[in-house]
């Protein structure tokens, strides 16, 4: 299958605290702009699959899952706390840019 750019959001909309879920080609994605970075991750907590769109963005550069409070580093994808090292990392997708839009090549 050919890879194609799928636009998700206008760059000008990416302000601090931005967090929005998308579904692209059957993949649940979560676009986040937080702590001076934009990241695209799978909208699924590696602990028990709860959608991370309901999570809380915390400093520095992490998201706390609403279900059991595990914090995931948005830079490394790793879980913090007692379960660190036992959970999968967040699944990250590389961002793609076209014109004034940010998106993903899927
Ligand atoms: S499902 Fe996310 S911390 Fe448990």
Residue 106 lies inside a defined structural domain of this protein: no
Which atom of ligand 1 lies at the shortest distance from residue 50's CA?
Answer: 1
Q: Output the pLDDT for position 1.
A: 61
Residue 95 lies inside a defined structural domain of this protein: yes
What is the spatial distance between Cα 52 and Cα 84, in angstroms, rounded to a whole number? Answer: 17
Q: Residue 52: phi, psi to the nearest 5?
A: -75, -5
Instruction: State how far Cα 15 lies from the chain centre.
Output: 15
What is the spatial distance between Cα 3 and Cα 13, in angstroms, rounded to a whole number? Answer: 25
Residue, of 106 and 60, whose pLDDT is higher: 60
Cα–ligand 1 centroid distance for 100 (angstroms): 34
Mutation to probe ligand 1, out of 52, 70, 72, 81 (largest number of atoms < 8 A from CB): 70
Q: Output the pLDDT for position 2.
A: 75
What average pLDDT does the segment 44-53 reach?
97
Check pocket membership of 65 for ligand 1, CB cut-off 6 A. Answer: yes
How many other β-carbons are positioned within 10 Å of the β-carbon of residue 73?
16
How many domains would you assign to the chain?
A: 1
Q: How many residues does the chain have?
A: 106
Q: The domain spanning residue 71 has which CATH number? A: 2.102.10.10
pTM above 0.75, yes or no: yes
Cα–ligand 1 centroid distance for 55 (angstroms): 9
Check pocket membership of 53 for ligand 1, CB cut-off 6 A. Answer: no
Residue 43 lies inside a defined structural domain of this protein: yes
How many other β-carbons are positioned within 10 Å of the β-carbon of residue 98?
11
What average pLDDT does the segment 90-97 reach?
97
Domain range for 88:
5-101
């Amino acid at each position: 299958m050919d890879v194609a750019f799928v636009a998700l959001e206008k760059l000008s909309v990416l302000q601090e605290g931005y967090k929005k879920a998308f579904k692209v080609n059957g993949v649940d994605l979560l676009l986040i702009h937080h702590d001076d970075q934009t990241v695209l991750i799978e909208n699924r907590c590696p602990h028990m699959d709860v959608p991370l769109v309901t999570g809380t963005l915390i400093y520095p550069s992490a998201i706390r899952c609403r279900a059991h409070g595990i914090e995931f580093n948005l830079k490394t994808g790793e879980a913090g706390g007692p379960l660190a090292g036992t959970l999968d990392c967040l699944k990250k997708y590389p961002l793609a840019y076209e014109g004034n839009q940010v998106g993903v090549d899927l």
